[in-house]
Every structure is written in C-alpha cells, then in structure tokens.
Amino acid sequence: MGLKSFEQLEKAINNHLELKRLTMKNAKGIAHANSLIASGDFMIPETWERPTAEMENAYLEENGYEKYALWFLGVDPDLDKETKGHYGYIYTSDFKTVDRRGLAAIRQYSAQNNMPSIFAAAGKMIEKIDAKK
C-alpha cells in the first residue's frame, strides 16, 4: 500500500481499528438512517469520503455524543459511549445526509469482519435509496 503522507497512514490505521472492534449493531443509528432515507435526505456521490477527524470533533462539540451516535451503524459495547471508539460504520460524509457510497463501503467492511446484521441493514438501506432514484 503506497501512502503519501502521515495523515493517510493515520486514516488507514484508524479505519482498520474501527472495523475490528465493533461487535453490535446500533439500533438508533439504523433507525436514524432509515428515517433520513425515507425523507429523501441521502446523496449518491462519485466516491466515498468519510468525515475528517476535524469534522467529527466539530460535530461532537456542537451536538454531543447522543446525536453523534445516530450517524453510525455499529457500536462496541465494551467501550464508553462517551468516546469515538464506541462507534463505527459511519454512513454520512456531512452529518446531514446518508451517503449511498458509504453504505456500500459498510457492506464490504461488515462482510469482511463477520457482521451480518450490519451488512443486512446497509443492504436494505441501499435498496431503499435505489428504489427512490
């Protein structure tokens, strides 16, 4: 893997660690995503770009962990809910909409990490978005 900067390396490591520690689906996050899709609040970009650490920190500072949690399909129940590490499988790139490419990435990662409930939830969401196109 050819990484061009420390930031790319850090992002790759954080993404890998996030995916390995999640063990449960986040029912509130799944419900929130489905609600957004039902109201048409989704996007279908050319590529998937998850929010930067700066964007996540700004969102957390403004909204707190309870609202931050709504943007993730998975959680690690062994970690404190008041930490970023508790949450994973983010499905937004802007904390406003569901990102279809993000859901596709979640399907891939959840399949690789034996998370069938998250894989299925993301698949159903993709089907709903595709039906609205």
pLDDT at 67 over 60: yes
Query: Residue 21 is part of which domain span?
Result: 6-132
Q: What is the pTM of this model?
A: 0.83
The string of pLDDT tens digits covering residues 68-119 is: 999 999 998 888 999 998 999 999 999 999 999 999 999 998 998 888 999 9
pLDDT at 7 over 70: no
Q: What is the arithmetic mean of pLDDT over 11-35?
A: 75
1 in a domain, yes or no?
no
Distance separating the N- and C-terminal Cα atoms of the chain: 35
58 in a domain, yes or no?
yes
Assigned token pair, 51: 């929010």
Q: How far apart are CA 3 and CA 12, in angstroms?
A: 9
Structural domains of the chain, count: 1
Mean pLDDT of the chain: 88
